[in-house]
């Protein structure tokens, strides 16, 4: 499956990802340090104490020295520095912990997206031009026209306020536990995944319609196979290939969507940290989280490209 060429390709891509991450974090670093004022601007410390603080964080050095120290820290120790607002908070462990939380919510959203999208898409294709098909196609336009926070708001209203809670009314995500409470997790995951499920459904429907008209499906029918076997084993497998092409933008969409959803539900993940650090003007964390995001997106793109090789043996790198 993975030939030598593929391995070389993977290596190249990893180098490229590293390069992109470096460029992105540099741009953010330099852009942020161009802003007027400094991180201690609001702290009402003046005189010697102020200079001592600046020195402690290395902010009194020239910009290129700061940048060099930042780079050396990132490359050699994976150290993204310290928070400037919450004194003494190391950013790397923080970001790694939050990444775990985000991955859990995002992973579940992805399961929703793909599961629901495939199911609806196949149903719409099989019952083409019936009321079910029209209902599903119209719903999918509505689905991707609703911002995820609107879906989240209506879900909370429906379950939290009107039906008076499945989740105990709270969306507090337990810290320390290695995974969240599933009962709390499915609402945010659904709100995050639903808009993309509509897109997957549309695409699955279109490509299923194309595939089920082909001769090999007629042959399978003629052999007397059960309809469910034909649909899943013969048709869906080939209908999946165009669906995989949107998997990469889908994952990126879920990552960015999580910024909104995590803030909405108060989930202590990477997305919440990103928005909060921007609002708090905590430059060090902004740079750290953004670097993390760039790496994640690069990795997601690479994984999707490798998924092609697994599913379609004709594709080689």
Binding residues vs other proteins (CB under 8 A):
20, 24, 28, 31-32, 34-35, 138, 141-142, 144-147, 149-150, 153-154, 156-157, 160-161, 206, 252, 255-256, 259-260, 263-264, 274-275, 278-279, 286, 290, 293-294, 297-298, 301
Element (H, E) at 150: helix 148-155
- Partner residues linked to 90 by β-bridges: 82
187/220 with CB nearer other proteins:
187
68-76: long-range contacts, CB 8 A cutoff, minimum separation 24 = 70/29, 70/287, 71/22, 71/26, 74/25, 74/291
- Burial (Cβ within 10 Å: 0-12, 13-18, ≥19) of residue 173: buried
Q: Which helix (H) or strand (E) holds 226?
A: none
Helix (H, G, I), strand (E, B), or coil: what is residue 316? coil
Q: Smallest distance from the beta carbon of 282 to other proteins, in angstroms? A: 11
**Cα(165)–Cα(155) distance, integer angstroms:** 10
Give whichever of 94 and 292 is closer to other proteins, judged by the CB atom. 292
Q: How far is the CB of 157 from other proteins (least distance, A)?
A: 6
Q: Are 172 and 266 in contact (CB under 8 A)?
A: yes
Nearest residue (CB) to other proteins, 196 versus 293: 293
CB of 29 to other proteins, least distance (A): 11
Is the four-CA dihedral 141, 235, 306, 271 of positive or negative sign? Answer: positive
Query: Which one, 238 or 258, has the nearer CB to other proteins?
Result: 258
In whole angstroms, the minimum distance from the beta carbon of 178 to other proteins comes to 27
Closest separation between CB of residue 269 and other proteins, Å?
14
Please state the closest distance from residue 256 (CB atom) to other proteins, in A.
Answer: 4
Nearer to other proteins, 3 or 139 (CB): 139
To the nearest whole angstrom, how small is the minimum distance from the Cβ of residue 1 to other proteins?
A: 26
Burial class (CB in 10 A: 0-12, 13-18, 19+), 296: buried
Assess contact for 205 and 124: CB atoms under 8 A.
yes
Q: Please state, in angstroms and rounded to a whole number, the distance separating the CA atoms of residues 261 and 198.
A: 18
Nearer Cβ to other proteins (3/138): 138
**Beta bridge partners of residue 97, listed in sequence order:** none
Work out the number of other CB atoms within 10 angstroms of the CB of residue 121.
Answer: 29
Which one, 122 or 294, has the nearer CB to other proteins? 294
């Amino acid at each position: 499956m993975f030939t030598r060429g593929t391995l070389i390709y993977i290596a190249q891509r990893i180098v490229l990802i590293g390069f992109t991450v470096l460029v992105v974090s540099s741009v953010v670093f330099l852009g942020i340090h161009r802003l007027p004022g400094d991180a201690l601007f609001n702290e009402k410390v003046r005189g010697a104490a102020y200079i001592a603080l600046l020195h402690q964080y290395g902010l009194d050095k020239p910009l290129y020295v700061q940048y060099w120290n930042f780079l050396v820290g990132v490359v050699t120790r994976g150290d993204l520095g310290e928070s400037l607002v919450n004194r003494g908070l190391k950013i790397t462990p923080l970001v790694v912990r939050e990444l775990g939380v985000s991955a859990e919510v995002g992973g579940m959203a992805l399961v929703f997206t793909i599961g629901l999208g495939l199911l609806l898409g196949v149903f719409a294709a099989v019952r083409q031009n019936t009321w079910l098909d029209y209902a599903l196609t119209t719903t999918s336009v509505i689905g991707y026209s609703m911002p995820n926070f609107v879906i989240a708001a209506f879900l909370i209203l429906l379950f939290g306020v009107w039906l008076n809670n499945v989740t105990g009314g709270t969306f507090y995500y337990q810290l320390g536990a290695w995974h969240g409470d599933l009962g709390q997790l499915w609402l945010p995951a659904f709100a995050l995944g639903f808009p993309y499920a509509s897109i997957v459904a549309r695409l699955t429907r279109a490509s299923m319609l194309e595939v089920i008209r082909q001769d090999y499906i007629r042959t399978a029918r003629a052999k007397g196979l059960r309809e469910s076997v034909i649909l899943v084993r013969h048709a869906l497998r080939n209908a999946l290939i165009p669906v995989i092409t949107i998997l990469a933008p889908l994952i990126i969409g879920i990552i960015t969507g999580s910024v909104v959803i995590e803030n909405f539900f108060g989930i202590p993940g990477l997305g919440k940290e990103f928005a909060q650090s921007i609002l708090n003007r905590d430059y060090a964390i902004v740079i750290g989280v953004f670097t993390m995001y760039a790496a994640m997106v690069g990795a997601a793109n690479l994984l999707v490209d490798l998924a092609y090789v697994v599913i379609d043996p004709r594709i080689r790198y």
